[in-house]
Amino acid sequence: MIESLLVANRGEIACRIIRTAKRLGIRVIAVHSEADADLPFVAEADEAVLIGPPNPALSYRNTEAILAAAKSTGAQAIHPGYGFLSENADFARTVEASGLIWVGPDADAITAMGDKINARNLMAAAGVPVAPGTTEPAADLASAVTAAAEIGYPVMVKAAAGGGGMGMGVAVDEAALRTEYDKVRAFAERMFGDGSVLIERYFPRVRHVEVQILGLVDGRVVALGERECSVQRRNQKLVEESPSPAVSPELRSRLLAAAVRAGEAVGYRNAGTVECLLDPTTGEFFFLEMNTRLQVEHPVTEYVYGIDLVEEQLRVASGLAPTFDPDALTPRGHAIEMRINAEDPKRFLPGPGKVTTWVEPTGEGVRVDSGYTEGNTVTPFYDSLLAKLIVSGATREEVLERAEGAVAAFQIVGPKNNVPFFAELLENEEFRSGAYDTGIVSRMR
């Protein structure tokens, strides 16, 4: 097993990784910006290194500073968490070229799946269903217009190098396409340094379902069930649950098999997620993208399968077999995760500020992965995620009941937060029935 680990991230995911690593007897090094010096993850690590000012480009995305911290502390491996440099193939290559262990898929897999058009084409060749769309970037507006006419409106205009729900727009006709194409292209160039755009069929009533995969040391790729991720705002997830209420045993079998083929197509190792769009009326599903990292919502899979995904990541990176029998994976029960963000519960606009009260819920089947505590200040420099509230139980009905109590008990005063939204959602009949789709939040608003 790896003996020392540098966590190249912050907040709740840094705390999450630190917890498992320390349980395994691994010495853990945290890196942090000036803005994060007082956050819990810094104190929980065995050692902490200041790597720069608040600007992520000068700290959490500063590869030289991170590698220097690894060298000065004698770190053996680097875990990137999610976001920041987690899907940066150049960083992964540099880490390994420096003689360090990269806790994640290799750089070639990250590269192959990082470009959405290339990923779509790879998946189609591997027999994974893909939605109608372009097989190469729409080089200009005229090409986009021609492609959309062939695909049929409405269409999704997407940044080929994007991710995390960013760099996307819907066009219902040619006039809207002309606006969205320019908007997405400019955003993609600014955010990703790559203005490539793809055009895909847009499904107005669809569910977002993903499959957790794990590439093992012996070369096998296994699927650890699916997660429902359809409660979203601005194409970004707010709630995830496993198993999905929309997935039958027969559909699950097809979904998981397709996800395994996706991983095998790129020789995948370590943890990853195959995201799909599901048409609930026909049972058809289409490959959306592959996230070559640990997902925010991994805890719901951990509960249903009884494993620690961070531990499994560290075992793969260490060249060790998994703690579970890959031929005897059995899901049990149900779990729901709610992303507690520093944003108002109506319009979901960021609301940073100092935390004057922080009281987490407790009880059977209740887990909180938090990145803040009382006295901390939520700054405007990073993602608004404060914590994740995960509730598990034997049935979905039991989980919904426990979730209501947990949400009511979660007290955060200071920064604006979306806890009241979850109280509203848990009373929503569409959500409680399980027959919801990606439009549920807009219908609530």
- Give the CA distances from residue 20 to residues 44, 164, 253, in Å, rounded to whole numbers and listed in that order: 12, 25, 31
Q: Three-state DSSP class for 200?
A: strand
- Its sign, for the CA torsion 244, 250, 255, 257, is positive
Q: Which residue type sits at 149?
A: A
- Its sign, for the CA torsion 187, 193, 199, 203, is negative
Look at the block and give the residue holding tokens 């609530």.
444
Angle at alpha carbon of residue 15, lines to 419 and 108, rounded to 5°: 105
HSE value, Cβ hemisphere, 13 Å, CA-based, for 377: 9
Q: Are 9 and 84 in contact (CB under 8 A)?
A: yes
> Catalytic: 293?
yes
* Pairwise CA distance, residues 31 & 33, whole Å: 7
Closest to 220 in 3D by CA, of 192, 248, 261: 261
Structure tokens, 108: 């070639």
Q: Pick the catalytic residue from 27, 293, 339, 367.
A: 293
CB under 8 A, 24+ apart: contacts of 96-101: 98/67, 98/70, 98/71, 100/67, 100/70, 100/75, 100/76, 101/2, 101/76, 101/77, 101/317, 101/318
Q: Output the DSSP codes for 151-171.
A: H-SSEEEEETT--TT-SEEEE
Q: Active-site positions?
A: 293
